[in-house]
Amino acid sequence: MKPADLSKVAITDGYWKKRADINRTVTLITEYNQLKDTGRLDTFKQLWKEGMPNEPHFFWDSDVAKWIEACAYSLVSFPDKKTEEMVDAVIDDIERAQWEDGYLNSYYTVKDKTARWTNLLIMHELYCAGHLMEAAVAYFQATGKDRLLNIMCRYADHINSVFGPEKGKLRGYPGHEEIELALVKLYNATGKEEYLRLSEYFVTERGRQPSYFDAELERTPGIKRYNRDKGTTMPYAYVQAHAPVTDQETIEGHSVRALYFLSGVADVAAITGRNDLLEACEKLYANMTQKRMYITGGVGDTPDIERFSYDYNLPNETAYAETCAAIASVFFCSRMLNITGNGKYGDTMELALHNGIMSGISLDGTEFFYSNPLAVEAKAVLEETLEFHSHMGYKRRKWFGCACCPPNIARLLSSLGSYFYSTDGRDIRVNLYGSSEFLHEGIKLSQTTDYPWDETVKILFSCETPSESMISLRIPGWCEKHEITINGGACAAEYSNGFAQIKRIWHDGDEITLFFHMPVVKMQAHPNVRHDTGKLALMRGPVVYCLEEEDNGKHLAALFIQPADNFDVVYDNEFLGGCAYLSGRAFRLSESGYEERLYKPFSAEYEEAGIKAIPYAMWSNRNPGDMLVWINAMTTPE
């Protein structure tokens, strides 16, 4: 199926409307100011000289590109002359920065014009090119202006003249993937087959032996091969180049790169019909979700080079779970959902959206997390560790030296409506739930709901004349019991791959009502996840909950919950911007008997305590303090 045309979707109310409005009115201008103040925008003016402040970095072009893309998606639904003028001014500078042969990279233009295409493993030329291509396609689709699109077609033509299997070309591919999916977008926008072929080349050449990266090092001895200055060679699994994707058994390396890459693999598989590529995507998805993903939908467990490490290694306090990685997971899963029609991909997409992604931005839209840990002891985290990535942060920051996440979350929120629905002819599939409207071929669906806080979703069907079509409704994997009615009566639905399919002749005013039973569920991790042994996490619907010091005092690790205890669900429209929190009881280990002692003979003594759990996505929006997702379970073996 095809994703919904963004111009045909409106998010009308509820949780996602609040988040999208803040993104449009606050985050986009906040990020523009940061891009300006840190020198990223001005780098395209080519005025920087050695010794000047704001020395350019090799990934800066991508930060600017993602912001342009975010603005473009916003302009689809909310035309705004000022925003358009800001973007057009940036495009002016980009156009002037392009080389005569089509090459375009601000870092090499001002830092070292002789070194382009010499260090693909580390430097981000192709990665930045990909993000600029995505921005160009989005801006063209939003405004009809093709100047940036033409600029990027010239660049893509140049790249196509440099790379490929043909004689005289470099058989290289990017160290940081992304251009693969971008070239497919460029192909879809222009119809130029060479862009699709180049994407397929990058996808299938990666990991072949002998390694291009080995040849690159032999050709240019002494080039920087590792981006942490440890004097070691970058492991090729880190960039998913240890084997062709069809031979890979586990998802490896830098988590953002891996999922951008798989998004491109899925795109190529969908268009070319290559089942070997699709099977590779399915295999690596299974490994990720069954053995290497946090309960929040976050991925990438190890701060050391931001990577997947090994099965079941999911530490909480040092979890990297980069915001960008969760966003990349949504990109990948949305593609797989449309290709296969399997609702499990929608479940993973929803989990990341409601938890591992939205934790990455403050409720006011001005501060961000780069990484998203699942446990924090604030006193153990020193501010001096936050200079670059803040991988152990307990407080969001306004910007980062590596600022990939802020504009990434902005472009996702600006384009969110396109993930809600998919189409195939007149058939419509509802992938995500939230108050929204979707117009498709004379049919309008109107969702009304306060999901994920409320259990009821109403979908009103509008059409001028009766229309036969299939409406498919994703039944979330977390939902063990649900009801569907049409106009208050029984509904005959068929179920397939996690979707309830209703095919009938629809009349104007028909209304579907879904009721998802949403109890508070105590979740436990696989026994091999040693970090969570003997612990439980609280979920309600797609939302993961956590404890914060603000509500529960310090030393959260001393709290225990009885699995049989019930929790009250309390909706408060004023609390944290409006959400449902959980209220219940726990037992805190007593500190008595430790007088001037650090240890004593074991004798568990507990004091009953009331606890309050809030949505994980909303933590760290009040006073900085401790936080915990996995809570001790008070159990007695049978």
Mean pLDDT of 482-502: 96
Evaluated on CA atoms 22, 24, 25, 26, the torsion sign reads: positive
Residues known to be catalytic: 306, 404
DSSP 79-124: --HHHHHHHHHHHHHHHHHS-TTS---HHHHHH-TT-TTS-TTTS-
Greater confidence (635 vs 489) lies with 489
Residue 309 contacts residue 302 (beta carbons within 8 Å): yes
Residue 369 contacts residue 360 (beta carbons within 8 Å): yes
Provide φ and ψ at 363, rounded to 5°.
Answer: -65, -25
Residue 330 contacts residue 347 (beta carbons within 8 Å): no
The C-alpha R_g of the chain, in whole angstroms, comes to: 25
218 Cβ contact list (under 8 Å, min separation 6): none
pLDDT for 316: 95
Q: Are strands 467-474 and 9-11 parallel, antiparallel or unpaired?
A: unpaired
C-alpha span between 186 and 157 (Å, rounded): 11
**Closest to 604 measured CA to CA, from 567, 565, 636, 566:** 636
Query: Is residue 383 predicted with pLDDT exceeding 80?
Result: no
Mean pLDDT of 354-383: 89
Lowest mean pLDDT segment, chosen from 172-181, 233-242, 249-258, 554-563? 233-242
pLDDT for 414: 98
Query: Is residue 357 predicted with pLDDT exceeding 50?
Result: yes
The first and second tokens of residue 96, run together, are 């002037």
pLDDT for 303: 82
Q: What is the pLDDT of residues 462-478, one digit of tens each?
A: 999 999 999 999 999 99
The first and second tokens of residue 582, run together, are 């959980």
**What is the biggest distance separating any 2 CA atoms in the chain, rounded to whole angstroms?**
81
Q: How does the average pLDDT of the chain come out, rounded?
A: 94
The first and second tokens of residue 414, run together, are 């600006």
The first and second tokens of residue 397, run together, are 């920051």
- Residue 568 CB neighbour total at 10 angstroms: 9
- What amino acid is encoded at 585 in this protein? R
C-alpha span between 241 and 81 (Å, rounded): 44
Query: Is residue 384 predicted with pLDDT exceeding 50?
Result: no
DSSP assigned state of 167 = T
Return the SS3 of 362. coil
Greater confidence (347 vs 221) lies with 347
Mean pLDDT of 400-429: 96
The H-or-E segment that residue 49 falls in is: none
DSSP 253-302: EEHHHHHHHHHHHHHHHHHH--HHHHHHHHHHHHHHHHHSB-TTS-B--B
pLDDT-based confidence at residue 389 (cuts at 50, 70, 90): very low
Residue 477 contacts residue 343 (beta carbons within 8 Å): yes
Mean pLDDT of 94-112: 96
Q: What is the pLDDT of residues 75-97, one digit of tens each?
A: 999 999 999 999 999 999 999 99
Q: What is the pLDDT of residues 10-21, one digit of tens each?
A: 999 999 999 999
The first and second tokens of residue 410, run together, are 């902005």
Domain boundaries, the chain: 38-243, 287-415, 420-451+456-516, 520-633
C-alpha span between 536 and 305 (Å, rounded): 29
Global pTM exceeds 0.85: yes
Greater confidence (269 vs 112) lies with 269
The first and second tokens of residue 71, run together, are 């603005």
Provide φ and ψ at 564, rounded to 5°.
Answer: -80, -15
100 Cβ contact list (under 8 Å, min separation 6): none
pLDDT-based confidence at residue 393 (cuts at 50, 70, 90): low
Query: Is residue 547 predicted with pLDDT exceeding 70?
Result: yes
C-alpha span between 455 and 127 (Å, rounded): 41
pLDDT-based confidence at residue 304 (cuts at 50, 70, 90): confident
pLDDT-based confidence at residue 233 (cuts at 50, 70, 90): low
In the block, tokens 């156009």 appear at 95
Residue 369 contacts residue 295 (beta carbons within 8 Å): no
**Closest to 284 measured CA to CA, from 246, 318, 250:** 250
Query: Is residue 224 predicted with pLDDT exceeding 80?
Result: no
pLDDT for 37: 97
In the block, tokens 């109107």 appear at 446
Lowest mean pLDDT segment, chosen from 83-97, 298-312, 337-351, 537-551? 298-312
Query: Is residue 637 predicted with pLDDT exceeding 60?
Result: no
C-alpha span between 254 and 65 (Å, rounded): 21
Query: Is residue 386 predicted with pLDDT exceeding 50?
Result: no
C-alpha span between 169 and 389 (Å, rounded): 37
Fold of 420-451+456-516: Immunoglobulin-like (2.60.40)
Please count the CA atoms within 13 angstroms of the CA of 617 that sit on its side-chain side: 29
**Closest to 630 measured CA to CA, from 521, 477, 525, 518:** 525
